[in-house]
Amino acid sequence: MKCSVILCPAHLDELYFTGKTIIVIDVLRASNTIINALKNGAKEIVPVASVEFAVKVSGGMFGGQTLIGGERNTKKIDGFALGNSPLEYTEEVVSGKSIVFYTTNGSKAVAKAKFSENLFICSFSNISAVAKHIVNLNTDFEILCAGRNNSFSIEDSVCAGRLVSIIQTLSKNIELSDSSKACLALNKSFGKSILAMLKGSEHGKLLIENGFEEDLKFCSETDSIKVIPYFKENVIKLPR
């Protein structure tokens, strides 16, 4: 299995992803919101790349069964039912619902990778489950870090390194790119306390400033949720 890490999707276009196996990571916070919503019984997440498209898509879906969620500058968008705190996506709120989802980096990364053959969503919370699944697939894969504002983010790259290191413990059949080796090193240096790493990150500091410190705790938990969200036919779901 060849493995490489895309540190940020800005320089790639949609066709790059055609036919590939891609794992999208946006630790703060889109991956965790998607993972928690689906674990709590949401029917599906519809990731979109613009607020305008979110409103348009939700207009064509069933009233009452559809919610629009996401953020701009970490905050809930006017007219949206939900923001992008994973803690908002409780069973009471999301069970049975389709959620149209826009975020600054995470939903855009998923939408950009829509032509992938296989597309999974990962964070620390489901990392071992995703690692096992990739080893079972036994195919070349690329980890797509959503990054931050078209740039590198430490939390996504450390998580990518952690994923590679778990896969290495499960399979000897792995060929690492330079980017994978760099992320392994980042995980070694910064992965000792995930919470401390998140608190020290640029995006973590902004979330704390905006009152979302609890989200950092949630997003730092490892192997707390065993689901593997996958994207197919424009929606993210759990396997049945």
Residues near ligand MLT, by CB under 6 A:
26, 28-30, 71, 74, 84, 103-106, 146, 207
Would strands 2-6 and 98-102 be described as parallel, antiparallel, or unpaired?
Answer: unpaired
Rounded to a whole number of angstroms, the minimum distance from the CB of residue 36 to ligand MLT is 12
For residue 77, what is the DSSP state? P
Rounded to a whole number of angstroms, the minimum distance from the CB of residue 54 to ligand MLT is 13
Q: What angle do CA 31, 35, 41 make, to 5 degrees?
A: 150
Rounded to a whole number of angstroms, the minimum distance from the CB of residue 240 to ligand MLT is 27
Extract the runs of DSSP E, i.e. beta strands, from the chain. Answer: 2-6, 21-25, 44-48, 66-72, 75-76, 98-102, 118-122, 141-145, 175-176, 230-232, 235-237
Rounded to a whole number of angstroms, the minimum distance from the CB of residue 204 to ligand MLT is 9
CA distances from 177 to 5, 92, 138 (A): 8, 43, 17
Phi-psi region at 177: left, alpha or beta (left = phi > 0; alpha = psi -120 to 50) = beta
Q: Which is nearer to ligand MLT, 84 or 157 (CB)?
A: 84
Rounded to a whole number of angstroms, the minimum distance from the CB of residue 228 to ligand MLT is 19
Cα dihedral 118→123→124→128 (10° resolution): -10
The answer to whether the beta carbons of residues 55 and 79 sit under 8 Å apart is yes
Cα-atom radius of gyration of the chain, to the nearest Å?
16
Helix (H, G, I), strand (E, B) or coil at 148: strand
Rounded to a whole number of angstroms, the minimum distance from the CB of residue 202 to ligand MLT is 11
